[in-house]
DNA sequence: ATGGTCGGCTTCCGA
């Protein structure tokens, strides 16, 4: 079974690329982030005609997450137990959707960006991660994958210029500790060993052409999921050319 | 420090 995760940066503007990507790589389950649409706005007819089921959640033009599966899609859950709600000044609540696909529990996650370390969104990000980690301990005993845009660079190797990013969000010790807490708790990041390199490049300053990016999209597996992983890759081709998302998809291969 | 480029309920905001 092939699972993929992709911050698509608007599903409506890239639905053709999504359909082509699924077929090009024979993907069974695709987790999407930053769909940037409410459920009723999503262009799903093409996917459904191709035999894919879709579960999506979005409440406005910001963010939004979805799961696309051709191996079944059941027990859909929007948000995780304890997921903190937003205050008056924070935007967009759609951050997590989970479902069982092909016997695997998959969560499409859009970890809050954080903006800046002195911003309320940064505090929310750390709170969100702490509550996800608490909720996710219950899922370790089953084959489970926590996939998506984590908006964290776990090491300096995951940043094209660590000096430039000092004191910025994505690289602070607190964010790295929040990510490490998942690993310490029993989750395994299953893509890095097979697929080194960045997964995100800013649109401006020709960051992709110069390979000046960040590694922020990850797949964390429970023990029974991680032991089935026998490959992974980053689809860098998808980031090239006109009309690309600023993230490349990450694909994971699971043994049957 | 600044600005660069995208998408979207577009003349600003969020990333």
- On strand B, nucleotides with any atom < 7 Å from a protein CB are 3-9, 13-15
Q: How far is CA A178 from CA A28, A101, A123, A166, A241, in A?
A: 30, 27, 12, 17, 34
pLDDT in tens, A120-173: 899 999 999 999 999 999 999 999 999 999 999 999 999 999 999 998 999 999
pLDDT at A32: 97
Closest residue to B14 measured CA to C1′: A62
Residues 6+ apart with CB under 8 A from A243: A13, A14, A17
pLDDT at A94: 57
Residue A115, CB, strand B, below 7 Å: yes
* Nearest nt by C1' to A200 Cα: B15
**Can you list the alpha helix ranges (DSSP code H) found in A14-146?**
15-24, 45-49, 120-136
- What percentage of chain A has pLDDT greater than the value 90? 88
pLDDT category at A7 given cuts 50, 70, 90 is: very high
Does the structure show a pLDDT above 80 at A199?
yes
pLDDT at A92: 57
Interatomic CA–C1' length for residue A64 and nucleotide B8, angstroms: 13
Q: Which two tokens stand for residue A126?
A: 């750390």
Does the structure show a pLDDT above 80 at A62?
yes
**Residue A18 dihedral angles phi and psi, to the nearest 5°:** -65, -45
Q: Identify the domain containing residue A192 by its residue range.
A: 2-254
DSSP secondary structure code for residue A195 in this structure: -
CA distance A254 to A244: 27
pLDDT at A174: 97
Q: Which two tokens stand for residue A223?
A: 């023990």
CATH assignment at residue A163: 3.60.10.10
Residue A168, CB, strand B, below 7 Å: no
Interatomic CA–C1' length for residue A164 and nucleotide B1, angstroms: 12
* Nearest nt by C1' to A12 Cα: B7
Interatomic CA–C1' length for residue A160 and nucleotide B3, angstroms: 18
Does the structure show a pLDDT above 90 at A60?
no
CA distance A50 to A70: 9
Buried b (16+ CB within 10 A) or exposed e, A158-192: bbbeeeebeeebbbbeebbebbeebeeeebbbbbb
CA distance A224 to A247: 28
Interatomic CA–C1' length for residue A56 and nucleotide B6, angstroms: 23
User: Cβ-count burial of A88 within 10 angstroms (0-12 exposed, 13-18 middle, 19+ buried)?
Assistant: exposed
Beta strands A217-221; A229-234: pairing state: unpaired
Residue A24, CB, strand B, below 7 Å: no
Q: What is the mean pLDDT of chain A?
A: 95
- What percentage of chain A has pLDDT greater than the value 70? 97
Cβ atoms < 10 Å from Cβ of A256: 6
Does the structure show a pLDDT above 70 at A10?
yes
* Nearest nt by C1' to A13 Cα: B7
Give how many domains chain A has, as a whole number.
1
Q: What distance lies between CA A6 and its chain's CA centroid?
A: 6
Beta strands A74-78; A65-69: pairing state: unpaired
pLDDT in tens, A70-104: 999 999 999 999 999 877 666 656 589 999 999 99
Residue A212, CB, strand B, below 7 Å: no
Q: Which two tokens stand for residue A64?
A: 């939004």
Residue A33, CB, strand B, below 7 Å: no
Cβ atoms < 10 Å from Cβ of A225: 26
């Amino acid at each position: 079974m092939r699972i993929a995760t992709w911050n698509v940066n608007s599903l409506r503007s890239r639905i053709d690329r999504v359909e082509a990507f699924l077929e090009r790589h024979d993907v069974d389950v695709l987790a999407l982030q930053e769909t940037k649409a409410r459920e009723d706005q999503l262009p799903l007819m093409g996917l459904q005609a191709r035999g894919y089921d879709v579960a999506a959640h979005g409440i406005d033009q910001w963010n939004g997450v979805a799961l696309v599966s051709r191996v079944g899609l059941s027990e859909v859950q929007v948000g995780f137990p304890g997921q903190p709600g937003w205050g008056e000044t924070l935007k967009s609540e759609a951050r997590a959707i989970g479902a069982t696909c092909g016997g695997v529990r998959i969560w499409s996650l859009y970890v809050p960006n954080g903006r800046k370390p002195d911003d309320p969104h940064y505090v929310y990000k750390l709170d969100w991660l702490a509550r996800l980690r608490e909720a996710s301990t219950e899922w370790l005993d089953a084959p489970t994958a926590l996939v998506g845009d984590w908006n964290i660079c776990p090491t300096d190797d995951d940043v094209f210029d660590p000096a430039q990013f000092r004191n910025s969000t994505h690289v602070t010790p607190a964010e790295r500790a929040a990510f490490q807490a998942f690993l310490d708790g029993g989750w395994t990041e299953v893509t890095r060993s097979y697929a080194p390199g960045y997964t995100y490049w800013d649109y401006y300053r020709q960051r992709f052409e110069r390979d000046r990016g960040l590694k922020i999209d990850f797949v964390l597996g429970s023990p029974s999921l991680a032991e089935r992983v026998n490959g992974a890759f980053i689809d860098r081709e998808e980031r090239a050319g006109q009309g690309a998302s600023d993230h490349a998809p990450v694909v994971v291969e699971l043994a049957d």
